[in-house]
């Protein structure tokens, strides 16, 4: 009798909810953060980066265009390992965790942020609602 277990990723059964295959609950604390919450957090983070950038560069300058993403990246890389997420994540009740447990370290936030700044990886999601930037970094954004 042939083995009925899926052999490749494309053969996997659809999950009942985002995070089911990761062992996360369907809703509440510890569940995968949904799109609305994630987008709101991103807007908070980008707005805070814009405000901080205004302290260093004039709004209509070319420098402002480059300083804002740099400030955004620094905020992400500093706050994810120290407080568990960006300011937007924490304000909206989320945190970034590594899939293998433990401390997230510095490498994961750097990889995650670099891919997030490319925008497209953040728009490519899997059935667990993890963006490509989270998949590559080995992280998941959960409700906390």
Q: What percent of the chain has pLDDT over 70?
A: 92
Q: Is 70 inside a domain boundary?
A: yes
| CA atoms within a 13 Å half-sphere pointing along the CA-CB vector of 122 | 14
Q: Is residue 34 part of a domain?
A: yes
What pTM was computed for the model? 0.86
The model's confidence at residue 125, banded by pLDDT at 50, 70 and 90, is: confident
Q: Is residue 123 part of a domain?
A: yes
Give pLDDT, residue 1.
Answer: 47
12 domain-assigned: no
Which of the pair, 7 or 99, is modelled with greater confidence? 99
Mean pLDDT of the chain: 90
The number of folded domains in the chain is: 1
For residue 14, the SS3 value is: coil
Coil/strand/helix, residue 21: helix
Domain of residue 57, residue span: 30-143
- Cα 26 to Cα 5, 33, 43, 45, 64, distances in angstroms: 23, 10, 25, 26, 41
Cα(85)–Cα(2) distance, integer angstroms: 45
Give the residue from 137, 136, 127 showing the smallest Cα distance to 12: 127
Residue 37 lies in a domain: yes
Tell me the pLDDT tens digit for each residue of 43-86: 999 999 999 999 999 988 899 999 999 999 999 999 999 999 99
pLDDT value of position 60: 84
Asked if residue 69 belongs to a domain, the reply is yes
The answer to whether residue 14 sits within a structural domain is: no
């Amino acid at each position: 009798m042939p083995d009925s277990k899926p052999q490749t990723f494309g053969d996997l059964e659809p999950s009942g909810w985002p995070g089911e295959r990761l062992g996360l609950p369907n809703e509440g604390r510890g569940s995968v953060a949904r799109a609305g919450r994630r987008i709101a957090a991103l807007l908070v983070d980008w707005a805070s980066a814009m405000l901080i950038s205004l302290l260093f560069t004039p709004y209509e300058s070319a420098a402002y265009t480059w300083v804002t993403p740099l400030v955004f990246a620094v905020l992400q890389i500093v706050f994810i390992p120290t407080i568990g997420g960006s300011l937007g994540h924490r304000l909206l009740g989320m945190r970034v965790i590594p899939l293998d447990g433990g401390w997230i370290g510095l490498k994961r936030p750097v990889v995650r942020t670099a891919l997030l700044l490319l925008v497209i990886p953040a728009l490519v999601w899997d059935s667990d609602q993890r963006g490509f930037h989270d998949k590559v970094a080995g992280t998941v954004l959960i409700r906390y």
